[in-house]
Structure 1
Amino acid sequence: MLKPAVAPSASFRLTPVALACCSALLLSACGGSNDGNSLSTLNGDAPLVVAHRGASGYLPEETLEAYSMAIDMGADVVEPDLISTKDGVLIARHDPNLAYSTDVANHPEFASRKKTTQVDGETQTGWFASDFTLAEIKTLGGISTDAERPQQYNGLYKVITFQELIDLVKAKSAATGRTIAVYPETKNPTYHRDLGLPLEDKLIDLINKAGWNSKTAPIFVQSFEPSSLKYMRSKGLNTKLIQLIDADDVNLKTGALTYAVPYDKPYDWAKAGDSRLFSAMVTPAGLAEIKTYADGIGPWKRYIITVKGTLDASGNLTDINGDGKINEADTVSQPATTLIADAHKAGLFVHPYTFRNEKRRLASDYKGDPQNEYLAFYRLGVDGVFSDFSDTALAARKAYLKEMGR
């Protein structure tokens, strides 16, 4: 997705029945509560906590260890990005460019494979998964993608296949007695199709083999590219489908979202010459269009609550906290948009991304406490959140549910 506490007790984790209800109910009513304590989610259920790339705030992302930690924390759902190896195996990695999240640069045997190429219209230099077999990729270790996060685990944990994640989720569900869902993304699907390594049919096959091809199964399938979702639906995929909605950044002087390649529009739109931006998706017409092929949206959280800095007399951004840097810690949250209500009106659930704990990512009104940001979104009625820190998201949900008398 967009660029780059103590685990809660089992008492408020979703039970298998509750999670199944919550998942299925994202689409159809399931005896919603009329006790006066119903929530503002699409169907009045507690919002899901989705472990974004696993416990990626603590361990190298998209590794078995990161996913295991997130599940042990109590995450309801774990999220992998899926890309393809040279031999057509789906692996959990956020980027086709392995330089970003693995120690491939430390492997001299692969030095000759470094190259410059284009991914979704962006020129990148590095090592690309499509040039490596699974056996070769299995020699690489994951690394932290954020310098502020722990670095001592770099290289220790290996890249995994999607099948290995399915196996982990099934084993953990059986061991804990609670249903854990998965939330795979077809990553750069047009790019992979152009390489002759399409993702969709392989994903459908793995889902079928897992016995998960239904609306009530513990799985959500997401993509930034509408054509990927539409193709899978046409090929008989019956799971919940989610349209991701991106942007490049926020203009901190105005609070307006900005759009630049490759975060301006879905790449399939770009290739087709469609002039629309991702912003077209959050209009009532855009949401109605999404509803024809998907069940929910996964918008960047700034589409719901954006942030804005303070300007001095010369019109320059003010370094509020005096750390010599201008970032989101120097901003103030702006009034929420109507996106959640609009999406719910269209019958779509809303799972915004990505929530993180680092103080540089938190608007000043959250007072350095990431739970305050979660609470702001929970109170607006989001149906789930993508979080790098599942424990924090769960603790905030517990506080929110207590606040709501649940």
Structure 2
Amino acid sequence: MSVNRSLVIGHRGAPGYLPEHSRASYDLALASGVDAVEPDVVFTSDRIAVVRHENEIGSTTDVADHPEFASRRATKVVDGAPLTGWFTEDFRWDELATLRCRERLPHLRPGSAASDRGQPILRLRELLDLVAAAPAAAGVVLEVKHATYFGSIGYDVAGLLADELRSAGWDVGARPLVIESFEQRILQELRGRGIRARYIYLLEAEGSAWDLRAADGDDALTYADQLTPAGLDLLAGEVDGISLDKRIVLEHPSVVADAHRRGLEVYVWTCRPENAFLDPLFRGPGDDAAFGDWEGEWRRIAETGVDGVFVDHPDLGVAFFAHPGRSGGAR
């Protein structure tokens, strides 16, 4: 089957090799030739946008090793789920700057864990400047995390991000910018602020978006509802594209063509080679950390015609998805 080239997005940098969201991880992704990198964005108590997978940072930093922050450990309900740990909104930026990144999955990625505690946390502005200065014309796929939650505790998420993007020169479309979220409302608010970007709605394989659940309770549309023909018709009038859990694409590949017919771009997350993350059909011998038949799974995804893929190993992703038809690529 003929396969078109897909955009390759370094998911949190290059976390297959180095701790996610660290400067070194992003440097490696950009050097590997990705089309864009993906920072997740949350906020500090002094309203600084920082790059972390979640606002809970116990699993991705060395905060537990700092006795001066022991009293900050707390239990909170974020998007309906109780979480215990340390949260970015309880720290000023100057305090977070003393922490260092660490590997979130050390049992699967011991090579990355060997670089623990070597890199500080990044502010969003630092990441934007890093990409703008890169030799290649790479873009940013900015994921807004927990917008409804942060709004509920007094943050003007859209305003803070719009100001940051304008200050950094990323608001006028001069550089490739995608803004994505699991919540449509924040996408609409940022578009309303005049930020020129492609707006992509993230959908999981199960459940409902938290902004919809917060507004509509048990009557909230599910992600499955939003992927029906009627749901896609509505999305086509509200966003530029959708980004899907790869399980959706593997189990229902026709959704890609359905979305394309409505003018929606389709991205897929996350392509990883380790057995722990592969569909059972493509797992190979060895433990969870061993690489299975990742090429087989990725080929199945590529053949659906997706427009972009998120990868943890940028070198493998660029070789496979950016050059379909070559040895080791989609075929």
**Fold match by TM threshold 0.5:** yes
The match for 1:191 is: 149
> Where do residues 162-201 of structure 1 align in structure 2 (5 Å cutoff)?
162-172=124-134, 176=135, 178-201=136-159
Q: Aligned to 1:67, what secondary structure does the other structure show? A: helix
In 2: Cα distance, 1:38 partner to 1:337 partner: 16
Unaligned stretches of 5+ residues in structure 2: 285-291
Within the alignment, does 1:388 sit opposite 2:306 as a pair?
A: no
In 2: Cα distance, 1:55 partner to 1:405 partner: 21
Residues 178 and 199, structure 2, Cα contact 8 Å, conserved in 1: yes
The match for 1:243 is: 201
In 2: Cα distance, 1:132 partner to 1:84 partner: 9
The match for 1:285 is: 230
Residues 90 and 199, structure 1, Cα contact 8 Å, conserved in 2: no
> Where do residues 3-152 of structure 1 align in structure 2 (5 Å cutoff)?
39=3, 46-146=5-105, 147-149=107-109, 150=111, 151-152=113-114
The match for 1:304 is: 249
Alignment deviations for residues 371-391 of structure 1 (CA, whole Å, 9 cap, x no partner): 222222112101010111111
Q: Cα offset for 1:135? A: 0.5
In 2: Cα distance, 1:57 partner to 1:197 partner: 33
In 1: Cα distance, 2:13 partner to 2:143 partner: 14
Residues 229 and 293, structure 1, Cα contact 8 Å, conserved in 2: no
Within the alignment, does 1:209 sit opposite 2:171 as a pair?
A: no
Task: Please say which structure displays the higher CA radius of gyration.
Answer: 1
In 1: Cα distance, 2:312 partner to 2:150 partner: 26
Moved beyond 4 Å, runs of 4+: 37-40, 403-406
Within the alignment, does 1:272 sit opposite 2:188 as a pair?
A: no
Q: Aligned to 2:154, what secondary structure does the other structure show? A: coil
Within the alignment, does 1:157 sit opposite 2:119 as a pair?
A: yes
In 1: Cα distance, 2:322 partner to 2:227 partner: 29
Within the alignment, does 1:230 sit opposite 2:175 as a pair?
A: no
Q: Aligned to 2:126, what secondary structure does the other structure show? A: helix
The match for 1:361 is: 277
Please tell me the residue identity of whatever aligns with 1:380. T
Please tell me the residue identity of whatever aligns with 2:121. V
TM-score for both structures, normalised by structure 2: 0.90
In 1: Cα distance, 2:300 partner to 2:98 partner: 42
Residues 54 and 66, structure 1, Cα contact 8 Å, conserved in 2: yes
Residues 50 and 75, structure 1, Cα contact 8 Å, conserved in 2: yes
Q: Aligned to 1:400, what secondary structure does the other structure show? A: coil
Alignment deviations for residues 51-86 of structure 1 (CA, whole Å, 9 cap, x no partner): 000001111111111100111111110000000000
TM-aligned CA distance change 1:364 to 1:120, over 3 Å: closer
Q: Cα offset for 1:162? A: 0.6
Q: Cα offset for 1:361? A: 2.0
Unaligned stretches of 5+ residues in structure 1: 1-36, 41-45, 248-258, 307-335
Alignment deviations for residues 69-104 of structure 1 (CA, whole Å, 9 cap, x no partner): 111111110000000000000000011111121111
Alignment RMSD (CA, Å)? 2.1
Alignment deviations for residues 87-143 of structure 1 (CA, whole Å, 9 cap, x no partner): 000000011111121111111100011111100000011111000000100111111
TM-aligned CA distance change 1:203 to 1:371, over 3 Å: same
TM-score for both structures, normalised by structure 1: 0.74
The match for 1:373 is: 297
Alignment deviations for residues 221-256 of structure 1 (CA, whole Å, 9 cap, x no partner): 001111111111122222100000013xxxxxxxxx
